[in-house]
Structures are given as C-alpha cells and as structure tokens.
Amino acid sequence: MKKLSKEQSVAASQMLGRMDTLAQTVMQRYASWGMSQDDAKRVVNALDSVADDFERCAFGEESLQARQIEVLKQAKVIQQDSDESYMGTFNAPTAPIQTDGDEPYMQAYKDDQTTAVNSGKSTVGRPLAP
C-alpha cells in the first residue's frame, strides 16, 4: 500500500463519509421510495462492502480492523421481546447473569473486557490476563 498525501487522505475520508451518508439515507427513506426492507438491506450491505474495500485500499487492513472494533464496542441489542430477557446478555457477554451470596469473586466478571481482547488494551486500566 502506498502512503497517501494529506489531501488524498482527506478525500478518501470524505468519500467514506458520503458512502455512510448514502447508506443512512437508504435506511431512512427506503419505504417512501417504494423499496422493500430486504432490497434496502441488500443495497446498504453492498455499500458497506464497497466502503470496506475502499478503506482497505486507501488506509490499509489495520484501519478497517480498528474501525470494526470501534463499531463492535458500541453494539447494543436494539430490540427484544418481553419474553427475551436473555438478550441483554449480548450487551456485556462476560457479565454474570446470576451469582450466589458466597461468590463475591463473580463481581470481577461484570466488567466486560471482551473488546479489550480485540484491541489488546484494557478499558479499565487493569492489566489483561496473559
């Protein structure tokens, strides 16, 4: 991969931003355009794939991986039915669901360090286990 000049880097970032804006517009307006949700999803997924390929070419694989890690850190359950209380565990997959009174050590697992495994950096200042 060749090194981009500052102007090229700005232009590439603007292009990625325009692709994101286009995908958001499709998600917001597909129904008013007479598009089915499935068709809109296919268009948005295709735009995302093109944006990923473009970012990989412009900034390198490391940039794409770092951005995907940031997206995963912000991922939350958007919708759940009343009988799906377990869905909340996906917001913090390592947090204990139930502990007994004689298990105070389980509190250590409430801190979700799963994203730190991807980045290799602790999010709370404690060193990660080797």
Instruction: State how far the Cα of 26 lies from the Cα of 23, in Å rounded to an integer.
Output: 5
- The segment with the largest mean pLDDT, out of 21-25, 73-77, 106-110, is 21-25
Whether this prediction's pTM lies above 0.85 is answered by no
pLDDT at res. 108: 62
Determine contact, residues 68/75, Cβ cutoff 8 Å.
no
Across residues 68-84, what is the average pLDDT?
70
Mean pLDDT score of the chain: 77
* Furthest CA-CA distance within the chain: 60
Q: Within 13 Å of residue 23, how many CA atoms lie on the same side as its CB?
A: 18
